[in-house]
Structure 1
Amino acid sequence: MPRLFALAAAALLALGLTTALPTTAAAVELGDDGLHKTDWMRDTFKDLREDLAEANAEGKRLAIIMEQRGCVYCTQMHEEIFPQPVLADYIRDNFFVVQMNLHGDTEVTDFDGEALSEKQAARKWGMLFTPTILFLPEEVPEDQTAAQSAVAVMPGAFGLGTTIDMFTWVAEKRYELDNGEDFQRYHARRIQERDNGSTD
């Protein structure tokens, strides 16, 4: 019987009849640079001091997402995770997100005043993987870089729960709380609450 079910599933796939099945994948726009684009990403001059000031003026947190053309993990995040309404709405409402290209030549001005290309900034900040998200505080000392001042770094592709927990942990400034609940403990608690059916 399992073999028969497998053959039937293969036949459905071959006929393209699985479109009625639920899926979280979505068509995602690609820019000329080959990077995925969303409506919550900001097109700025990439002067991080200006971006931070604008984020603060809007009451949002600045986040930098580093991606690259052809990144399968970036594609996974943009097709399966970022489009989820609960996450997309949260990012849109709480974050000012600036996208950068791991191999890009667009000029970036770091918080320490150094002007360099995106790819030079990626090397300076020690970024090796995409996607990587840097979450910035509301104030950055003039002598610090984006990497030095980040309150959290999210390297790689994660599921919806982990991703929304990270954005929430940053937005709520839980990294400042003196309660011993670092992100891992916070995330573990949120997993348990979701398993218990809590919506808080």
Structure 2
Amino acid sequence: MKHALKIVLACWLSIFAVPALAEVGEDGLHKEDWFSLTFKDIREDIDSAREEGKRLALVFEQRGCIYCKKMHEELLTDPEVRDYIKANYKIVQYNMFGDEEVTDLDGEVLTEKTAARKWGVLFTPTILFMPETAPEDGTVVQAAVSTMPGAFGKWTFLNMFRWVHDKGYETDEHFQKYHARVIEELRASGRLDAE
């Protein structure tokens, strides 16, 4: 009886186990162990991501950001979201008010906070999706194939990563139409009641 109780308890814990949450670093940003630590040279990071068979995405966050916390605690702990992003993207984290050096595609060396201003990042989290190949000239904001300002619900968040990965920005299917189509497919399959 005691052994059976242990098995039932172990099964219950595995079903209701809470995924490990990202630690908060000294800079006040949540740290995912699968985010990439780089020298923040955008051209090198795009090349490195491509060599890994992935796309580069830059995520801007700030200390005390409740939406960044939501992204880490609700979205990036969801196995479907996390596993898709880990398999297809190299994520590099930026502190919107940070002082680490960043090298833009045009060669200009900036701090994270001056890069945020130059690239028009106003909200956190903001995710900038980079092209598969670095352009010959221009800046990050000119090269970005898409931008996601803010943390959304699971399907909007995940579908943006899928849309970029599938190069939806090169087609006539705008993200909103793509997202609506995917939501309808999820409803039809019974995986989703409402978004």
Is 1:47 the counterpart of 2:41? The answer is yes
Q: Please, what TM-score do these two structures have when normalized by structure 2?
A: 0.86
Counterpart among 143, 166, 169 of residue 163 in structure 2: 169
Please tell me the root mean square deviation across aligned C-alpha atoms, in Å. 1.9
Structure 1 pair 47–98 and aligned structure 2 pair: CA distance change class (3 A): same
Match of 1:28 among 6, 22, 25: 22
1:189 correspondence with 2:184:
no
Give the SS at the match of 1:39: coil
Q: What is the aligned partner in structure 1 of residue 96 from structure 2? A: 102
**How many angstroms apart in 2 are the aligned matches of 1:175 and 1:23?**
38
Q: Is the 8 A contact 1:113 1:142 kept in 2?
A: no
**Corresponding residue for residue 5 of structure 2:** none
Taking a change above 3 Å as real, the CA distance of residues 74 and 198 of structure 1, as seen in their structure-2 partners, is: same
Counterpart in 2 of 1:71?
A: 65
The alpha-carbon distance between structure 1 residues 190 and 23, as it changes in their structure 2 partners (threshold 3 A), is farther
Structure 2 counterpart of 1:137, from 88, 113, 131? 131
Q: Which amino acid aligns with 1:70?
A: G
Q: Which runs of 5+ in 1 are unaligned?
A: 1-21
Q: What amino acid does structure 1 have at the position aligned with 2:178?
A: Y
CA distance in 2, matches of 1:156, 1:88: 17
Q: Contact 2:58/2:129 (CA < 8 Å) preserved in 1?
A: yes
| Letter paired with 2:33 | D
With over 3 angstroms needed to count, the CA separation of the structure-2 counterparts of 1:198 and 1:151, relative to structure 1, is farther
Question: 4+ runs of 1 displaced by more than 6 Å?
Answer: 22-25
TM (normalized to structure 1)?
Answer: 0.84
Tell me if structure 2 keeps the 8 A contact 1:25–1:80. Answer: no
Partner of 1:108: helix, strand, or coil? strand
Q: CA deviation at 1:26?
A: 5.2
Q: Equivalent pairs: percent with the same residue?
A: 57
Structure 1 partner of 2:122: 128
Q: Give the CA deviation at 1:25.
A: 7.6
Amino acid at match of 1:184: Q
Give unmatched runs, 5+ long, in structure 2.
Answer: 1-15
